[in-house]
Amino acid sequence: MVHYDVQLIGGIILHQGKIAEMKTGEGKTLVATLPIYLNALTGRGVHVVTVNDYLAERDSHWMGALLRHVGLTVGVILNSMTPGQRQIEYACDVTYGTNNEFGFDYLRDNMSVAPEEQVHRGYYYAIVDEVDSVLIDEARTPLIISGMVESQISQKFNDLRPSVDALIRKQMQLVNRLLAEAEVEIKNADTEYTAGEKILKARRGMPKHPKLMKLYQEAGIKKLEQGIENDYLRDKKMPELDEQLYFIIEEKQNVVDLTELGRETLSPGKPETFVIPDLGEALHDIDSDESLSGPEKLKRKEELYTLHGERSDVIHHINQLLKAYSLFEKDVDYVVQDGKVLIVDEFTGRILPGRRYSDGLHQALEAKEKVAIEAESQTLATITLQNYFRMYSKLAGMTGTAVTESGEFWDIYKLDVVEIPTNQSVARTDFNDQIYKTRREKYNAVINDIAESYKTGQPVLVGTISVDVSETLSRMLKRVKIPHNVLNAKHHSREAEIVARAGQKHAVTIATNMAGRGTDIKLGPGVTDVGGLKILGTERHESRRIDLQLRGRAGRQGDPGESQFYLSLEDDLMRLFQSDRVASIMDRLGVQEGEVIQAGMVTRAVERAQKKVEERNFGIRKHLLEYDNVMNQQREIVYDRRNHALLGINLENEFHEMVENFVDAVVDKYSTGREVDEPVDWDGLNYDLGMVALAHAKPADFDQTKPELIREGVVNLVNQAFQAKAEIVGPENIKRLLQWVNLRIIDEKWREHLYEMDQLKEGINLRAVGQKDPLIEYKREGYEMFVNMLDAVDRETLRLFFHARLVEERSPQRRPRARNISQQHASTAGMGLLGALPQSPGTGVAGGGPQQVARPAPVQTEPKVGRNDPCPCGSGKKFKKCHGATL
């Protein structure tokens, strides 16, 4: 097997730690073997990242034979594997797996309670296949391991759903009336402006209303509405228009805002329901009220926090329900199967089992569809893909489309993109887009094109962006009796069979987002004679990359082929970003119903619209990364400290540092400010010493002339207590006891900190109302919370060490795995990272759930068995390899 020159170039680029853009069919999988072999010679391990388990297993078998032939070991990580199996696979020179599996293994490694439970052996070199899909499309959604918590969220959503449902119906009736009046008034020049105002109002209330879409088809309507909107924005009168609606939908920003009319409708006579108290001002008022006693102030503060939480929750739940009803479409954004709401991947059309929208949005969708609302969960560990892959010493990637996102690859990952020339010239013909006024006209044109190709035997692949569109086209093809196959989220199980037949003569295949499916379509006998595979796109995707990938399914390795996109002014991309410009062009040209525009000018207008969306999505990903960078710095510190404890590194030295920090804090806390005559409050100091270290300081034993001497004396006192504890425990057990208390407290406090950071993040955007930058506020408060957490870790580690008792256990048992821990690659629609998932195999981690902490088996004191002695259970193994492994 000899690599082509262009494949050698691709291998060089990958070895240099760059992204190689290679067109479909150019042999990316084979190219990867070159840098894989070279970098595997270091013995530090190479990770090859794919988008799903099928491709990971396939590539490990296909390329594994070649790599094993040259002396390398090859492994693959699959979702169903146990930790023991994963360790074996990671120990190989080359390991294939998905981005999710590599990322979740990193998180689980940092939740393990014994070094032998960890599976990763380092982060040296990674090659990411379909790098744009993994590092860009998936980057908006963090990896999360979560545990279930007790919550009343399902009841809250169910209680609010009828009210929100009624509000949606009222808005629909209002928009119906506005559009009916506008249809009449638009015909009269005297009332044309009034009609335009009503059309604008209808668009802000229900932008996807069918009657509105129909009105936009008439010449001049879109231009009239745009002019009126500019007038209102210039005169700052938009609030006057909005106050007549129940809520406002901002599709571009993915936001729904409740108006005063909407609030009054939802909570008649109780406007305070939607007023969140200003905590800072209210707390200041309570503290300043001299008529209140200490306990009364405490009670008032508790009542204030309760009121703040209740009202915040109501507003949040209503907002998420409005989003669920207004911005998310069934069979487009999600499907309902077996009583569950399942997300559909906008890039691949696949169902995403186990993923859930964050911030309560998924529960809102479940309430909307009247299915069981799953419980809330608490984050136990989380990381974004950006920060995970930035841990590798060298990172490379390959894909068919990366140049359009080259700026983001450099900004986020410092990765250059290099275009690799094709081995043979591309013979595919790419036609200019055809644009119609309505979807109906567009679909009819698509069916006619399919029928013409079917007569000649030319295979056709029709790309759609939603399940709903694929099923609409399928029904239309059935009416004209053209046999075809449908590949979408509802027919996922037949994927391999459908793709295998897509390149045969007379084949017609409808695929939802075929672009991301990672499968080459090979042409059948005689297909090149009829023009090769024809690609028909029924709508432009938000991302130019996805359109380019769809085109790239035809014309592989010099084969002939054609590609054509059909658009309409009713398509979401056109409607939101370029329909007014294109509509004015069509009006000037006098385009009638059923007529089409096909011109480079229109295609360029569409590409400008796509650039706008790409810039917006890049902003979202960058925004997520800016917030996660705060957590990433904290995560690195905590995980580094945790690994030191796990491996037993410098535990006694770190313990003594904790003692010094604790004593400094206690002496400062109880310092009276006097140089002589008891410079510290000994009663208070002894209270804290007793609570934490079970120690008692006698003032007479200390030189009280300087605070430094008191600190030194108290440190010595606590260290003496440590030595006494060490003698009781015994030298063989002290290290394990220190490990146990460190791991337990770090895990407990880190879990609590993640929850608090989630809560902070969910409400941080409200700071913008007070003219404060939410990101700066998040960094500031997040830092303060982190410092407080580290102080709490030190204090609680000391307390647990001194209070821990050794118990006798004659038959130690292996610690059971947790049952209610789940992992997810969450879809973040809001700022929150919370979600809830069914358990996936292999996700067990230390502890019994979110309210429990991992507990190794209690330390045995007698009868004592040496670690290298035969195990008393009679297995024949050494004690350290059998029941002693739990200690």
Pair of tokens at residue 778: 């998040």
Give the Cα-Cα-Cα angle 302, 306, 309 (nearest 5 degrees): 140
State the DSSP string of 771-796: T--HHHHHHHHHHHHHHHHHHHHHHH
Banded pLDDT at 695 (limits 50, 70, 90): confident
CA separation, residue 798 to residues 248, 559, 578, 667 (Å): 54, 71, 63, 16
- State the pLDDT at residue 825: 67
Lowest mean pLDDT among 424-428, 508-512, 712-716: 424-428
Tell which wins on pLDDT, 324 or 251. 324
Would residue 144 be called left, alpha or beta, if left means φ above 0 and alpha means ψ between -120 and 50 degrees? beta
The count of other CB atoms within 10 Å of the CB of residue 539 is 21
Mean per-residue pLDDT, 153-160: 82
**Phi, psi torsion values for 820, nearest 5 degrees:** -110, 35
DSSP 581: H
Q: How far apart are CA 256 and CA 204, in angstroms?
A: 10
Pair of tokens at residue 233: 């924005």
DSSP 200: H
- State the pLDDT at residue 454: 94
State the DSSP string of 213-241: HHHHTSTTHHHHHHHHHHHHHHTT-HHHH
DSSP 566: E
Q: How far apart are CA 163 and CA 156, in angstroms?
A: 12
- State the pLDDT at residue 728: 85
Pair of tokens at residue 3: 């690599």
Lowest mean pLDDT among 266-270, 399-403, 874-878: 874-878
Contact in structure between 573 and 609 (CB atoms under 8 Å): yes
Contact in structure between 46 and 125 (CB atoms under 8 Å): yes
**Phi, psi torsion values for 562, nearest 5 degrees:** -140, 155
Q: How far apart are CA 524 and CA 31, in angstroms?
A: 26
DSSP H or E run through 641: helix 600-647
Banded pLDDT at 626 (limits 50, 70, 90): confident
- State the pLDDT at residue 128: 95
Residue with tokens 């999600």: 334
The count of other CB atoms within 10 Å of the CB of residue 170 is 15
Pair of tokens at residue 612: 């706008």
- State the pLDDT at residue 848: 32
- State the pLDDT at residue 443: 94
Tell which wins on pLDDT, 279 or 683. 683
CA separation, residue 164 to residues 161, 247, 266, 827, 836 (Å): 5, 11, 7, 24, 23
Nearest CA among 570, 506, 502, 582 for reference residue 539: 570
Tell which wins on pLDDT, 368 or 427. 368
Q: Name the amino acid, one letter, at 221.
A: I
Pair of tokens at residue 568: 């309409």
Q: Name the amino acid, one letter, at 26.
A: E
Banded pLDDT at 676 (limits 50, 70, 90): low
Nearest CA among 839, 841, 845, 844 for reference residue 53: 841
Contact in structure between 75 and 123 (CB atoms under 8 Å): no
State the DSSP string of 461-519: EEEESSHHHHHHHHHHHHHTT---EEESTTSGGGHHHHHHHTTSTT-EEEEETGGGG--
The count of other CB atoms within 10 Å of the CB of residue 48 is 25
Question: b vs e for 636-670, b when ≥16 Cβ sit within 10 Å of the residue's Cβ?
Answer: eebbebbeebbeeeebeebbeebbbebbeebbeeb
CB burial of residue 429 (10 Å; 0-12, 13-18, 19+): middle
Pair of tokens at residue 10: 């691709």
**Phi, psi torsion values for 236, nearest 5 degrees:** 55, 40
Q: How far apart are CA 476 and CA 495, in angstroms?
A: 22
Percentages helix, strand, coil for the chain, rounded to the nearest 5? 55, 10, 35
Q: How far apart are CA 737 and CA 750, in angstroms?
A: 20
Q: Is the pLDDT of residue 202 over 80?
A: yes
- State the pLDDT at residue 814: 41
Q: How far apart are CA 516 and CA 132, in angstroms?
A: 10
The count of other CB atoms within 10 Å of the CB of residue 363 is 28
Banded pLDDT at 364 (limits 50, 70, 90): very high
pLDDT tens for each residue of 706-749: 777 888 888 999 999 899 888 888 888 888 899 999 999 999 99
Contact in structure between 824 and 146 (CB atoms under 8 Å): yes
Tell which wins on pLDDT, 347 or 827. 347
pLDDT tens for each residue of 103-148: 999 999 999 988 889 999 999 999 999 898 888 888 777 888 877 6
pLDDT tens for each residue of 536-571: 999 988 878 888 888 888 887 788 999 999 998 888
Mean per-residue pLDDT, 237-249: 91
State the DSSP string of 700-757: GGS-TT-HHHHHHHHHHHHHHHHHHHHHHH-HHHHHHHHHHHHHHHHHHHHHHHHHHH
Pair of tokens at residue 25: 């069919």
State the DSSP string of 842-862: T---SSSSTT----PPPPP-S
Banded pLDDT at 858 (limits 50, 70, 90): very low
Residue with tokens 């015994």: 730
DSSP 70: T
Tell which wins on pLDDT, 884 or 791. 791
Average pLDDT, the chain: 82
Pair of tokens at residue 804: 């821990």
pLDDT tens for each residue of 569-610: 888 877 776 556 666 666 666 666 667 777 677 777 778 878
Contact in structure between 141 and 882 (CB atoms under 8 Å): no
- Quote the percentage of the chain above a pLDDT of 90: 34
Tell which wins on pLDDT, 786 or 148. 786
Q: Is the pTM of this model over 0.85?
A: no
In this structure, the chain runs to a length of: 887
> SS3 of 281, please?
helix
Q: How far apart are CA 799 and CA 688, in angstroms?
A: 10
- State the pLDDT at residue 46: 97
Top mean-pLDDT range of 389-393, 613-617, 702-706: 389-393
Pair of tokens at residue 838: 């069914």
Q: How far apart are CA 263 and CA 248, in angstroms?
A: 12
- State the pLDDT at residue 459: 95
Q: Is the pLDDT of residue 292 over 70?
A: yes
Would residue 296 be called left, alpha or beta, if left means φ above 0 and alpha means ψ between -120 and 50 degrees? alpha
Pseudo-torsion of CA 252, 257, 259, 265, nearest 10°? 120
Residue with tokens 């970003």: 577
Banded pLDDT at 182 (limits 50, 70, 90): very high
- State the pLDDT at residue 77: 96
Strand pairing report for 821-825 and 143-148? antiparallel
CB burial of residue 311 (10 Å; 0-12, 13-18, 19+): middle
User: 148: which residues sit within 8 A by CB, 6+ positions away?
Assistant: 375, 376, 377, 378, 820, 822, 836, 849, 850
Report all structural domains of the chain as residue ranges with CATH numbers, in order of start.
5-149+384-419 (3.40.50.300), 153-326 (no CATH), 334-374 (no CATH), 433-598 (3.40.50.300)
Banded pLDDT at 856 (limits 50, 70, 90): very low
Q: Name the amino acid, one letter, at 370.
A: K
pLDDT tens for each residue of 516-530: 455 678 889 999 999
Lowest mean pLDDT among 182-196, 520-534, 699-713: 699-713
Q: Is the pLDDT of residue 793 over 50?
A: yes
Q: How far apart are CA 501 and CA 523, in angstroms?
A: 9
pLDDT tens for each residue of 44-62: 999 999 988 888 998 999 8
Residue with tokens 């204090």: 795
- Give me the helix-helix angle, 651-669 and 707-729, nearest 10°: 140
Contact in structure between 129 and 49 (CB atoms under 8 Å): yes
Q: How far apart are CA 684 and CA 698, in angstroms?
A: 13
User: 32: which residues sit within 8 A by CB, 6+ positions away?
Assistant: 11, 14, 48, 63, 127, 129, 398
Q: Name the amino acid, one letter, at 5.
A: D
Mean per-residue pLDDT, 443-447: 95
Contact in structure between 69 and 104 (CB atoms under 8 Å): no
Q: How far apart are CA 650 and CA 639, in angstroms?
A: 15
- State the pLDDT at residue 817: 41
